[in-house]
Structure 1
């Protein structure tokens, strides 16, 4: 019902804006399924509203952020926790709401505006195969730390970005007081981690909490029982200069934000990664289903 009401109000708003504020907008995106879906969805949606849209997706987080700060990207979907810890170097633990307000305030000083957040929270996580969780008795990150410290033989699959991030692997080990030997860590592309974990090539893998392959491959996310990871509320961010020139973007993007939550994002991701639909088709059908195309 919420989605229906949002869509109906969105239809009227989007229709009224179709020609009024058409502008040249460069939409950016990161280099994994969820972000590729979102950038395609945003491109198709804004194009239907009459904007002249250019897409620059498939970028790393830091490179994409720099591109926005430098004016090469106008709009993309970011995660509040990433801005808090990676771009603004804030390590304190904050609530979801406080994280949003803090990054909104800090990034405003850099000419970046955080628009309406969605209900989707795509946090980093470590996962294991469900049968291994039951067999080894590892359900939380504290359990994992204890197993490592007790010398249990575990191989971990991590991607390069998580391995190096300020909210990633090294500070996670510090927070949970354990140390995995480099020889027990396999660094690989994000997408390969899921198949490696499924096939038993690694015992623990870095995953995204809204990735559709987590339930599809019978993975269990290990509980972050010490609350290490901040909230990663999925939110459109736009350059202040772009928003000043096209103020209706705020309300146009809020229509999409209100349609996105964890279950919706997970389903969209699964359609690409598990059912093998194309990025563009999934994005287009989502917009059509919500009568935004």
Structure 2
């Protein structure tokens, strides 16, 4: 019997059938499906944590795919159940609500809550592997001034606001059935004055609060926009909000497919707290740094990975600031403004004893300083530094003069006086002002220390330089016993020696017990950059052609910065030169052309040197 000769299509068809069978066999997935698939919801915190998990996995030689956006809670759980992602970062309260399970009694231990969820998801072949250590629950926030004046300490205290509460929240909060707005109002017996102001962006909600458009805002505990802002968190005394503890939930099939994955995930157990995650979110939301970069920094800070020798191509916009100047509350506003002027440019804050020095050395492009730092006294005359130029005004600091309430002294500066330490410009300025007024300074220290001495009658008055309603100061005044009172600052002839000090006023009800406006002195807090035409220390010749942080801002950039900063963003004329001098236009094209020619010549010099070195190497 002769063998049948196969038809021309038989061999290709047989090959295709075998290939399809092999691909369908377990363990023979396409390469894209063998990668670790991390699902993320649509907010920054999820992207940062997913990037951290991905970085750990890659360093353990696990093939990791790009994080997969899966939308809201329902979308992400559907993707996990449908084997479209391998793991999620989820929150215990969210998972319980999604499963329709009771939240649990107030004060339930984290381990007990996690055990309940594990028992429910175990039959689904899903494992809640490791808690990450932080809670991302809802928070209700009010301004310190309102909290202190109306003594708002808890959510229930909002009932004290006559006519109802004006509230801002994201759209998703209105849609939550168990811990959303409707349930919140019902549980705490609150009423709204108007329909809620729906703003999804946290920073914009907070701006509405600071502008007085609302009384309270709803935010997450780890929102980056909350870092460094002077806000008061209202206590949830009724235990209305459930815990939202973050944890990693992973498919058992993924653990079987990638044996080393579980070990890497367990390294993250309880390694994060709210402050750490808030800082990471801040770096992305406000600092405009990539989530992957922030994740690597986070892992390095925790000692989980070593620093890479490869340098980032992104050059940060460095802002120098002196720790002693206590400008933390104004720093976020400066950074937000800069990100609008320089979109996509990461920023970082550098702590310096003298924040102007890095500008001269080309190590920073901007410095955040009080106006007093721009002047030096020479031969009795006050001279404005010509090495730097003011780019925009971020805020103002006003002199706060505190005495014990009921003090009948006719001279507000009489008696023993306390002022800040001289490690910052505020302490040096107030000390010089009092010295010229022939007033003796009896004590220096932090605000809390000075106020404590005032309460113990070791001092008669305390002078501080601070922004209106600064959170820490407002709390100290509100809690003071015996109570304190703000006094108008006497008209000092010596003020003429400090022309950057302008007459100012503390608005009524900025602090507890302050029913009237208070007359005082104010100084601008400004962003400054290198002055055009000034030589940066250590830069010149061919090196001028290399990238350098010390580049002055152009006039166009300065005007944009002033516009972004809004009302009050224009510098005092005294800080930008002779009285009445306005911001000029950009230098003419001829000057720009000269700079281009000079830089081209320097680049040519560098290229020539490189050519000579290449010839020398070849000769060897």
Offset, 1:79:
0.8
Q: Report the aligned-residue RMSD.
A: 2.3
Conservation of the 8 A alpha-carbon contact between 1:112 and 1:238: yes
Q: What SS class does the counterpart of residue 250 from structure 2 fall into?
A: strand
Asked if residue 51 in structure 1 is aligned to residue 62 in structure 2, the reply is: yes
Offset, 1:59:
2.4
Asked if residue 65 in structure 1 is aligned to residue 69 in structure 2, the reply is: no
Which residue in 2 is equivalent to 1:137? 151
Which residue in 1 is equivalent to 2:298? 286
* CA deviation map 1:41-95 (0-9, x unaligned): 2222222322222211372222112211221121121111111123333243233
Conservation of the 8 A alpha-carbon contact between 1:158 and 1:190: no
Conservation of the 8 A alpha-carbon contact between 1:69 and 1:111: no
Asked if residue 228 in structure 1 is aligned to residue 272 in structure 2, the reply is: no
Conservation of the 8 A alpha-carbon contact between 2:140 and 2:216: yes
Q: What SS class does the counterpart of residue 36 from structure 2 fall into?
A: strand
1:270 to 282, 289, 295: 282
Distance (Å, rounded) in 1 between the aligned partners of 2:244 and 2:271: 17
Q: What SS class does the counterpart of residue 116 from structure 1 fall into?
A: strand
Asked if residue 193 in structure 1 is aligned to residue 197 in structure 2, the reply is: no
1:214 to 189, 201, 226: 226
Which residue in 1 is equivalent to 2:182? 170
Which residue in 2 is equivalent to 1:87? 99
Asked if residue 104 in structure 1 is aligned to residue 118 in structure 2, the reply is: yes
Distance (Å, rounded) in 2 between the aligned partners of 1:44 and 1:199: 41
Distance (Å, rounded) in 2 between the aligned partners of 1:243 and 1:174: 44
Q: What SS class does the counterpart of residue 182 from structure 2 fall into?
A: helix
Offset, 1:147:
3.1
2:44 to 33, 49, 53: 33
Q: What SS class does the counterpart of residue 115 from structure 1 fall into?
A: strand
Residues 217-256 of structure 1: matches in 2 within 5 Å?
217-256=229-268
Asked if residue 78 in structure 1 is aligned to residue 93 in structure 2, the reply is: no
Give 5+ residue unaligned stretches, structure 1. 1-22
Offset, 1:174:
2.4
Asked if residue 205 in structure 1 is aligned to residue 217 in structure 2, the reply is: yes
Offset, 1:35:
1.5
Offset, 1:110:
2.6
Moved more, 266-275 or 202-211: 266-275
Q: What SS class does the counterpart of residue 247 from structure 2 fall into?
A: strand
Conservation of the 8 A alpha-carbon contact between 2:70 and 2:79: no
**Bigger Rg, which one:** 2
- Shift in CA distance, 167/244, structure 1 to aligned 2, threshold 3 Å: farther
* CA deviation map 1:125-164 (0-9, x unaligned): 11112222112322211112x236x524x32111122211
* CA deviation map 1:147-190 (0-9, x unaligned): 36x524x3211112221123322222222233436x43012214
Q: Which has the higher helix share?
A: 1
TM-score normalised over the length of structure 2: 0.41
Distance (Å, rounded) in 2 between the aligned partners of 1:204 and 1:40: 33
* CA deviation map 1:210-258 (0-9, x unaligned): 2233242212111010111122111111112212323432221121233
Distance (Å, rounded) in 2 between the aligned partners of 1:197 and 1:75: 37
Distance (Å, rounded) in 2 between the aligned partners of 1:37 and 1:215: 17
Conservation of the 8 A alpha-carbon contact between 1:84 and 1:99: no
Q: Which runs of 4+ in 1 moved over 3 A?
A: 198-201
- Shift in CA distance, 58/284, structure 1 to aligned 2, threshold 3 Å: farther
Which residue in 2 is equivalent to 1:147? 160
Offset, 1:291:
4.3
Distance (Å, rounded) in 2 between the aligned partners of 1:77 and 1:115: 10
Conservation of the 8 A alpha-carbon contact between 1:30 and 1:64: yes
Distance (Å, rounded) in 1 between the aligned partners of 2:201 and 2:116: 29
Q: What SS class does the counterpart of residue 97 from structure 1 fall into?
A: helix
- Shift in CA distance, 226/56, structure 1 to aligned 2, threshold 3 Å: same
Conservation of the 8 A alpha-carbon contact between 2:156 and 2:190: no
Q: What SS class does the counterpart of residue 244 from structure 2 fall into?
A: coil
Which residue in 2 is equivalent to 1:4? none
Q: What SS class does the counterpart of residue 66 from structure 1 fall into?
A: helix
Conservation of the 8 A alpha-carbon contact between 1:83 and 1:103: yes
Structure scoring higher RCO (CA < 8 A, sep ≥ 6) equals 1
- Shift in CA distance, 42/269, structure 1 to aligned 2, threshold 3 Å: same
2:127 to 113, 120, 127: 113
Distance (Å, rounded) in 1 between the aligned partners of 2:267 and 2:233: 30
- Shift in CA distance, 223/65, structure 1 to aligned 2, threshold 3 Å: same
- Shift in CA distance, 258/95, structure 1 to aligned 2, threshold 3 Å: closer
Moved more, 109-118 or 209-218: 209-218
